[in-house]
Amino acid sequence: MAAARHLQQREERKRENSKTAVLIVVKEEFKSISKVFVKFAAKSLISAARDI
């Protein structure tokens, strides 16, 4: 019984770790996407200012 519970706890810990890993990856992706977006927005603003 204790072995089964131990195994279940290990599985839950693994799941928590993978959730954390996924969150980190998503955060990093979001950072790079927002950097690209900021660059794009800055270029758009600069070209819009030239047109005015």
Tens of pLDDT, residues 15-38:
898 999 899 999 999 999 999 999
For the chain, domain boundaries: 24-51
Give me the chain's average pLDDT, please.
89
Structure pTM?
Answer: 0.52
29-51 as b/e, with b when 16 or more CB fall inside 10 Å? eeeeeeeeeeeeeeeeeeeeeee
pLDDT at 52: 64
pLDDT band at 6 (very low <50, low <70, confident <90, very high): confident
pLDDT band at 2 (very low <50, low <70, confident <90, very high): confident
